[in-house]
């Protein structure tokens, strides 16, 4: 099976905190070709919950595509630090399977962090 490297851009937000919330993900090749996207209205939630749900949504879609390597990009420092999205760490297989459950590197942009995670997709 050929390796599929995927860049997963994730985001989530709530109008109010808590308030009506949604999450989204865009998956692309490392060259920027968009493969798919996904969105989800999640009801009333906090911004942090919406950010995590965006991560789960993106990881689940990457698993569905059969991604062998995933790079996660998000704008939530909390998600990047607490979700294990640090250079050299692996995303637990249960995250990619837990759709229903809802190298952090600082960039030059303020309040922006990216996380790179490499994980083998369970077969």
Question: What is the C-alpha separation between 59 and 27, in angstroms, rounded?
Answer: 9
The whole-number pLDDT of residue 1 equals: 63
The distance in angstroms from the start CA to the end CA of the chain is 11
| Residues with pLDDT less than 70, the chain | 1, 85-123
- Backbone φ and ψ of 34, nearest 5°: -70, 125
**Structural domains of the chain sorted by starting position, each given as residue range(s) with its CATH number in brackets:** 5-117 (3.30.420.10)
- For the chain, the C-alpha Rg in angstroms (whole number) is 14
Place of tokens 């607490």: 82
Whether 71 contacts 58, CB under 8 Å: no
Question: Which sign does the torsion angle of CA 40, 45, 47, 48 carry?
Answer: negative
Token pair belonging to 31: 């060259």
| Residue 2: predicted pLDDT | 80
């Amino acid at each position: 099976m050929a390796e599929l490297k995927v860049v997963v851009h994730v985001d989530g937000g709530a109008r109010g905190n808590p308030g009506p919330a949604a999450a989204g993900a865009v998956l692309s090749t490392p060259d920027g070709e968009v493969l798919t996207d996904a969105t989800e209205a999640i009801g009333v939630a906090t911004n942090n919950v919406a950010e995590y749900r965006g991560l789960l949504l993106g990881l689940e879609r990457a698993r569905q595509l059969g991604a062998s390597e995933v790079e996660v990009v998000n704008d939530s420092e909390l998600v990047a630090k607490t979700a294990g999205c640090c250079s050299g760490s692996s995303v637990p297989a249960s995250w990619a399977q837990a759709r229903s459950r809802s190298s952090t590197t600082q960039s030059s942009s303020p309040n922006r962090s990216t996380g790179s995670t490499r994980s083998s997709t369970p077969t």
